[in-house]
């Protein structure tokens, strides 16, 4: 929320300063900040929705809202990058006057503020392992990059003088390319989660290692883990002695589930399927790592 309000103030200052100071790079930077406002609002709504408890219509919770918000933020970055690129080319082809020197002061302040905001938001996103919050952090980083490039472009135009008025427009065009690059790296992991792709192998390895510590577990077969928002769901096949009573196999299954969930609080559901060890061993079933 702090980032959302701060982006609103910075966007207004940059657009006003760009118009008065004859710098399209600064105006483009301002509109990119307005795109940040939209993306931050999407992230906020996505996080609130994904945190809702499970209900009858959503037995697995609402966690998919979190990567969906991240994907929307990435698409917003694409829109901002394309629009800035198109307008930059137009400005390069259109003769105009040199930017005003005071625009450099605005840009220098923006770079410092946005880079600081990136580090803060990204630290929070990494801590809670939120794709949408990390995507929002990269919006702040891309804003700092575009402002830095605009600073270089305007400084170049002012230093070299007449004939180099479009230097800040070239800077805006380069910034658009960087924004599109960042957009790809935000959309890709979001689509990864939305398609139920497997999480990092370390989580599966931890689940297997924990299950093996439970007394009565003879071997493990299949182990599938998927991410749902901030939570992980596990499907695990556990092999126990074939001659054990059903009640004892049931007890071992619950012990495995409790141990896995205790070892990693992010895992909120574990479905354990019990298999007889001797028959599985006879068919040569592998222990899949």
Q: Do both 134 and 237 map to the same domain?
A: no
pLDDT in tens, 49-68: 877 887 788 777 787 787 88
Q: Is the pLDDT of residue 256 over 90?
A: yes
Q: Do both 74 and 175 map to the same domain?
A: yes
H or E segment and range at residue 286: none
Mean pLDDT, range 120-127, rounded to an integer: 84
Choose one of 160, 175, 194: the last residue of a domain: 194
Q: Do both 45 and 141 map to the same domain?
A: yes
Is the CB of residue 221 less than 8 Å from the CB of residue 280?
Answer: yes
| Token pair listed for 260 | 């896995």
Mean residue pLDDT across the chain = 82
pTM flag (> 0.85)? no
Q: Which domain holds residue 243?
A: 201-282
Does 56 reside within a domain? yes
Q: Do both 181 and 207 map to the same domain?
A: no
Choose one of 167, 194, 221: the last residue of a domain: 194
**234 Cβ contact partners less than 8 Å away, ≥ 6 residues apart:** 207, 223, 224, 225, 260, 267, 269, 270, 271
Q: Is the pLDDT of residue 259 over 50?
A: yes
Q: Is the pLDDT of residue 248 over 90?
A: yes
The length of the chain in residues reads 289
Q: Is the pLDDT of residue 186 over 90?
A: no
Confidence (pLDDT) at 279: 52
Which CATH number goes with the domain that contains 266?
A: 3.30.70.1350
What is the DSSP code string of 93-116? HS--PPPPTHHHHHHHHHHHHHHH
Q: Do both 55 and 124 map to the same domain?
A: yes
Q: Do both 190 and 205 map to the same domain?
A: no
Read off φ and ψ for residue 266, nearest 5 degrees.
Answer: -70, -20
Alpha-carbon torsion (170, 140, 122, 267), positive or negative: negative
Q: Is the pLDDT of residue 283 over 70?
A: no
Read off φ and ψ for residue 102, nearest 5 degrees.
Answer: -65, -20
Does 288 reside within a domain? no
Which CATH number goes with the domain that contains 91?
A: 1.20.1510.10
Q: Do both 172 and 222 map to the same domain?
A: no
Choose one of 126, 160, 194: the last residue of a domain: 194
């Amino acid at each position: 929320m702090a980032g959302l309000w701060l982006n609103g103030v910075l966007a207004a200052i940059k657009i006003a300063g760009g118009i008065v100071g004859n710098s399209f790079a600064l105006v483009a930077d301002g509109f990119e900040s307005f795109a940040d406002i939209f993306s931050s609002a999407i992230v906020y709504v996505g996080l609130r929705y994904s945190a809702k408890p499970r209900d009858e219509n959503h037995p697995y919770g609402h966690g998919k809202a979190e990567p969906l918000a991240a994907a929307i933020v990435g698409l917003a970055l694409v829109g901002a990058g394309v629009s800035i690129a198109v307008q930059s080319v137009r400005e390069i082809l259109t003769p105009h006057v040199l930017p005003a020197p005071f625009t450099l002061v605005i840009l220098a302040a923006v770079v410092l503020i946005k880079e600081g905001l990136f580090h803060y938001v990204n630290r929070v996103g990494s801590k809670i392992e939120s794709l949408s919050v990390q995507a929002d952090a990269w919006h702040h980083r891309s804003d700092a990059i575009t402002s830095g490039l605009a600073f270089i472009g305007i400084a170049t135009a002012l230093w070299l003088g007449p004939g180099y008025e479009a230097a800040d427009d070239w800077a805006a065009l380069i910034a658009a390319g960087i924004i599109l690059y960042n957009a790809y790296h935000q959309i890709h992991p979001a689509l990864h989660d939305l398609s139920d792709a497997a999480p990092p192998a370390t989580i599966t390895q931890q689940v297997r290692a924990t299950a093996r510590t439970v007394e009565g577990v003879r071997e493990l077969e299949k182990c599938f883990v998927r991410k749902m928002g901030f939570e992980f769901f596990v499907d695990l096949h556990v092999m126990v002695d074939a001659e054990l009573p059903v009640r004892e196999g049931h007890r071992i299954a619950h012990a495995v589930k409790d141990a896995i969930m205790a070892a990693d609080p992010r895992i909120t559901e574990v479905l354990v399927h019990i298999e007889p060890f001797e028959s599985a061993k006879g068919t040569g079933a592998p222990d899949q790592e």
